[in-house]
Every structure is written in C-alpha cells, then in structure tokens.
Amino acid sequence: MGDLAGGREVDVLSPHSEEPIAKVTLASVADIDAAVAAARASFDSGVWAETDPAERIRLVSVFADLYQERIPEISETISKEMGSTITFSNLAQGPASWAIIATMVQLAQGIQWEESRPSAMAGDIVVRREPVGVVAAIVPWNFPQGLAMPKLVGALLTGCSVVLKPAPESALDALILAEVVEKVGFPEGVVSIVPADRAEGAHLVAHSDVDKVAFTGSTAAGRIIGATCGEQIKRVSLELGGKSAAVILDDADPAAVAAGLKIAGLMNNGQICAAQTRILVPKSRASEYIDAIADMMRKLVVGDPNDPATEIGPLVSKRQQERVTEYIDVGISEGAKVAVGGPGLPEHLDRGWYVKPTLFVDAVNSMRIAREEIFGPVLTVIGYDDLDEAIAIANDSPYGLAGSVWTMDDDTAMTVARRLRTGSVGINGYGADLNGPFGGYKASGIGREHGREGLESYLELKQITPPSAGVTLG
C-alpha cells in the first residue's frame, strides 16, 4: 500500500465499546491519482499483462499461501473494527476469503487465452482473451476481505493492474492485506491498496485512466457509479443490495426453519446483502413458524463480538445503528407487529452500537420494511395463501440478489427455485458456492462475481481474422 502522502488521519472506533482502537491514514485525491498512474504505467508496460498466465497463477498461489498464514489475525481484526462475531469471523471473514483465492487459482487454469475457430468464410479466425486494463475495485466494510478477493484476484489472474479501495471502517484489515501483497513480490504498480472515503472513491471511479470499475455496496451508490461508467463507456460490475425472500412451504419443519434462518437471515449481525429477511409463510401454519422463529430470536446471545458465545454483535457504526432503529420505528408506524425485539439497546447493554434482534409479523409486502434493505438483525414475516402467491410476493421486489426455498420435497424446491427472479437460490438454507456465478437481477446489480463468469468479467475479447476469412463491414 505504501505511504499515503496527503490523506487525513481518522480514529477506528470499536463498535462494542465506542472507544478508539487505532488511527489510520486515509488516501487523498493525490494518493488516488498516484495509485492509478502506477497501475496505468504497469499495465501499459506489459510487465504483468504480458506475463505468461502460468507465472501469474504461480504468484497468486504464493499470495494464497502467505494470506493463509495471516487468517487468524485478519479474522480477529475484522471482529474488532466492524463488530462481526469472532465465531463468524473465524468461519467466514478470514477462511472464506482465502478459499476464494484458492478457487479462482483453479478456475484460471482452465482459461483458454487464445483459440482458433473455423471462419464463416474460409480458413480460421483467432479469438483472444486479454486483460481489460486498470481495474478500480471498491468494497464495503461488512465482508471486507471476502468482497475484495473476487475483484483483486480476478484482476490479477487475468493480467490487469488494480487499485483496491477499502472502506474507512475496515481499514485495519486492509493494512494486513497490503503487507501480504507486498511480500508476494508483484511487479511495481500492479497492486495498490488505498483505504479512502466516498469523495476519493468517486474520484477513482471517474478517473480517465481506469478501464473497469468493480463495486460492491448500496444500490444508491451503484446507480451513481453506473451512471459515471455509462457516460465514459467504462466497463463496470455492480454487486448491490438485496431484500431476499425465504419461501417456507407448508411441509417444512418449523424448528429446522428457525435454526436455518439463524444463519441465513441473521449472519454477520444481519449485515449481509444476501440475508434472507423476508420470511414468507403459509397462512395455514403461520403461527407455528412464527413461534419457532421468535423462540430462536429471543434466545440469541447479544454482546461483545470477541466473546465466542456471542451470536449477534454490534452494528458497524452509530450511523448504522440509527438507520436500523429508524426502520424498526417505521415498521411499527406502518402497522406491523413486533413479536421480538423492538427499538432501543438490548436491556443488558448500556453502550455499543447494538440493536435488538427484531421480528416483525402481520406485515404486508408493500411496507417499507419489506421493500427496503435494512442491513441489521431484523426479519419480517409475510403470510401467503398458496404457492403462486408466495412466488409472486417473492418476485415483487426492486431487488433480486438471493432467495431460498424451504421444503421436504426436492422436486418442488427446484420448481420454485427456477421461478424466483433472483441471482442465487438456496434450498433449506442459503449459501452461494464459489464455483458458481454470484450477482443479482434488477436493482441488485450488473454482472457476476465468482465462478468462471467472475474471471471472464476482467477479460476483453479480440477477433483476429486473416484476409481470406473475413468480410469488410462499414
């Protein structure tokens, strides 16, 4: 990452104690310009883009090995800086990020960089896959390393140079990542890591020397980034918000549903874009599912994220705490009933950016709590009469990132999954496999990460046609 010349120094605050735990220097516009200039120079020189793909794969494999050594430190740091429970961090924040690197290395070995195809006229044509260029990768605070890796590693494996901008709230783990990257020995300018705020991020997006922007974050920010990239005809991939529906069929076991939603709906304190937060239940058995989910949520251990017993930690910031609390107030004002939780701090806590795990019932899909992404430990139960209505409610959303189907009937589960207008669907739980494409329909984004589709998003296609094979166009 190097020294930041003009950035401002800020405190990193503990979401649990609200006390400073470190100071970091954020990147300035001048730092962004320097990082982009270094990336542009490295790409245009061919020092990485023209390196044999096998050598790129080898160096990224070294990166994976060095990263693996730092997993415990990375996991612990993320818990301290943004409130993810240490149990979740030890399962996902560090290890899953490493698994992304390892999976992408395997996928890169299958890329056909150049192929020959029969011409439609005569002879053969050549199709090449070449790196898209300088990539600006912008990631949020909630899953900082896991959301960085598809962008950083995808860019590196395909021969791109990359400027990675982490969020200020998760700058500490970015420092560790920068140390690992530096130790690998990538060529000068190929990787820059520049934690920065929104204004500097906007400058990075609009920079004329950036060829592609890869962004994960809110839909509101994604619209602005998409407009900027559209104006410049710049490549862009957007992984944005969600309001995912868990479709509970009438043969599902209430206890199993509740246990599954503890993870699928509430992991990372509810701060996951793919969280299953709209719970669609058959009206004929609604009370059974509500009772089971309410019982699960009442028993959740809320507290210090560094305590292994904790199941729900604090939200990342006071601003996020206020935002989620406002949504709880909105739900009450709209007429939904609070079955568990509600506004205010948990009774046993007197500080920290906590909210009570909250379950709304008697809700309808037109309410704001059913249509807008809350990004906290808040679930909303909506009843339905029949399967067609359940699917219609699930699809009646501006978002389409994830979803799930809960049933004992495998055939019915697949039928429902195929009818959901969403980028990924889990059955009797939720999880997205790293070998498959991840992304959303509608306002949940453009493009895909993970799988071979994620790697291909960092490549341009070139056709080379010999004189005897082509026709003149234009």
Three-state secondary structure call for residue 456 = helix
Give me the pLDDT at residue 56, please: 98
Strand partners, 161: 134
Mean pLDDT of the chain: 96
Angle at 99 between CA 453 and CA 112, to 5 degrees: 35
Give me the pLDDT at residue 432, please: 92
Q: Which of 81, 239, 373, 449 is catalytic?
A: 239
CA distance 55 to 46: 14
Q: Which of 81, 169, 273, 449 is catalytic?
A: 273
Q: Give the β-pairing of 161-165 and 134-138.
A: parallel
Nearest residue to 213 (alpha-carbon basis) of 160, 270, 173: 160
Segment 223-243 mean pLDDT: 98
Q: Give, in order, the Cα–Cα distances in Å from 361 to each of 183, 256, 332, 428.
A: 52, 19, 10, 21
Report yes or no: 199 and 27 within 8 Å, Cβ to Cβ: no
Domain 9-240+444-464 class in CATH: alpha beta
229 flagged as catalytic: no
Q: Give the total residue count for the chain.
A: 474
273 flagged as catalytic: yes
Q: For residue range 158-169, what is the model confidence (pLDDT) as tens digits?
A: 999 999 999 999
472 falls in which pLDDT band (50, 70, 90)? Answer: low
Segment 356-379 mean pLDDT: 98
Q: In terms of CATH architecture, what is 244-427?
A: 3-Layer(aba) Sandwich (3.40)
Report yes or no: 125 and 466 within 8 Å, Cβ to Cβ: yes
Q: Give, in order, the Cα–Cα distances in Å from 107 to each of 48, 154, 412.
A: 19, 10, 32
Check residue 186 and report its DSSP letter.
P
4 falls in which pLDDT band (50, 70, 90)? Answer: low
117-124 long-range contacts, CB within 8 A, separation 24+: 119/465, 119/466, 119/468, 119/469, 119/470, 120/469, 121/468, 121/469, 121/470, 121/471, 122/468, 122/469, 123/466, 123/468, 123/469, 124/466, 124/469
91 falls in which pLDDT band (50, 70, 90)? Answer: very high
Q: Which residues have C-beta within 8 Å of that of residue 88, sequence separation ≥ 6?
A: 267, 268
Segment 329-351 mean pLDDT: 97
Give me the pLDDT at residue 171, please: 95
* CATH code 3.40.309.10 region(s) in the chain: 244-427
Residue with tokens 């500097």: 200
* CATH code 3.40.605.10 region(s) in the chain: 9-240+444-464
Can you read off the two tokens belonging to residue 232?
């410049």
Q: Give, in order, the Cα–Cα distances in Å from 77 to each of 16, 40, 94.
A: 13, 32, 10
Segment 229-255 mean pLDDT: 98
